Amino acid sequence: MRSPDLQRGRGATVNATSKRFALPAREADGDWLDARDELDGGAPPLRTTVTSEAARTIITRNQSPDIGFDRSINPYRGCEHGCIYCFARPSHAYLDLSPGLDFETRLFAKPNAPDLLRAELKKPGYVVRPIAFGTNTDPYQPIERDWRLTRACIAVLAETRHPLTITTKSDRVVHDIDLLAPMAADGLATVVVSVTTLDSTIARTLEPRVPHPKRRLAAIRALAAAGIPAYVSLAPVIPHITDHEMEAILEQAAEHGARGAFFLPVRLPNEVAPLFRAWLDEHHPDRAAKVMATIQSIRGGRDNDPDFFARMRGQGPWADLLRTRFRIACRRHGLGHIKPDLCCDLFKPPSGPQLSLF
């Protein structure tokens, strides 16, 4: 039986609240048109809403020792891609919203992001290090088509010759090749495209609003053809759901021009774990217990191991086996590690107001 909260085209099956912040329960409803449910008996789809947010800063800094960057930009809060495993979901709780369906339907855009970026790069004493996009929510999720905030921020970095890295699950990144290719020619840009499965049936529920895997592989080919260093990320690998595809994904990525690869065993922090369990019960009830048992074996008996370094690698025989398979497949297909060596010596601080490119 389908869950009463289940929404077609969405990842979360429920709109679970955060126990950490004692949020009130929320109904998985849309707008006044939901009244049609009383007439035809079918639950209407949730509509995506986007709220304009006046951000105070745009560069987020971190000191995590197991992450290869110290600063990032997120032009959006929430992500319509709806990936059920997304570790960024708990961040919506800080907005008094659910990490479940709210995270993928109630989005926030930061239209002042380019101006904030320009102001921060102008500050005296600014030290250049690569800026990472796609570290929390996807910079090329569907609303980028209309808001174009990621492109506007990249334009500022291109103008100032500032290095950047992009991680995305969307082929929409190819729309910005005109900006990224010249940057890559100067050693200022790399792109990582995430491909978690080649199976469209699995992808439809696992990451429902992400472009088809074939389109993401085509994006790798287009980026590589333009001279932009392109990599593939298998993050996350989910035991008994997607792990059997590891070798096939790496082979396809190499054939499409990827230079290197990265993988991460699934991790389920805080509110993500109950959402993922509910998703398993809805879509894979025959193996739900087996999946969770294996995940816990990788995470030291818990749903998640938050410790630095361990959270990226996992532990135990299953984690060791995944690493071995990954290394062998990468070696077979000539894929290296994702360690972009970007140039930080060409930076020139911005001068004057942002020019309109859009």
| pLDDT, tens digit (0-9, with 9 covering 90-100), for 184-224 | 999 999 999 999 999 999 999 999 999 999 999 999 999 99
Residue 67 confidence (pLDDT)? 76
Rounded-to-integer distance, Cα 67 and Cα 312, Å? 9
> Which residues in the chain land under pLDDT 70?
1-8, 11, 13-45, 66, 352-358
- Listing DSSP states for 123-187 in one string gives STT----PEEESSSS-TTSTTHHHH-HHHHHHHHHHHHT--EEEEES-GGGGGGHHHHHHHHHTT
What φ, ψ does residue 26 adopt, rounded to 5°? -125, 145
Residue 31 confidence (pLDDT)? 38
Residue 305 confidence (pLDDT)? 83
Rounded-to-integer distance, Cα 157 and Cα 134, Å? 15
Question: What stretches of the chain adopt beta strand conformation (E)?
Answer: 49-52, 59-61, 71-73, 76-77, 106-109, 131-133, 164-168, 189-194, 230-237, 260-265, 336-337
Nearest to 342 by CA among 219, 183, 232: 183
Q: Are residues 185 and 227 in contact, defined by beta-carbon separation less than 8 angstroms?
A: yes
Angle between helices 213-225 and 177-185 (to 10 degrees): 50
pTM: predicted TM-score of the whole model, two decimal places: 0.87
Residue 7 confidence (pLDDT)? 66
Domain spans of the chain? 48-333
Instruction: State how far the alpha carbon of 16 is from the alpha carbons of 47, 83, 94, 129, 269, in Å.
Output: 18, 15, 14, 38, 14
| DSSP H or E segment with residue 204 | helix 200-206
Instruction: State how far the alpha carbon of 277 is from the alpha carbons of 85, 203, 213, in Å.
Output: 10, 17, 24
108 pairs with which residues across the strands?
51, 77
Q: Are residues 11 and 84 in contact, defined by beta-carbon separation less than 8 angstroms?
A: yes
Residue 18 confidence (pLDDT)? 52
Residue 129 confidence (pLDDT)? 96
Rounded-to-integer distance, Cα 263 and Cα 6, Å? 30
pLDDT in tens, 9-67: 776 766 665 555 455 544 433 333 333 344 445 555 678 999 999 999 999 998 777 67
Instruction: Tell me which of 3.40.50.300, 3.40.50.720, 3.80.30.30, 3.40.190.10 is the CATH number of domain 48-333.
Output: 3.80.30.30
Rounded-to-integer distance, Cα 307 and Cα 100, Å? 24
What φ, ψ does residue 81 adopt, rounded to 5°? -55, -35
Nearest to 49 by CA among 107, 95, 111: 107
Residue 352 confidence (pLDDT)? 63
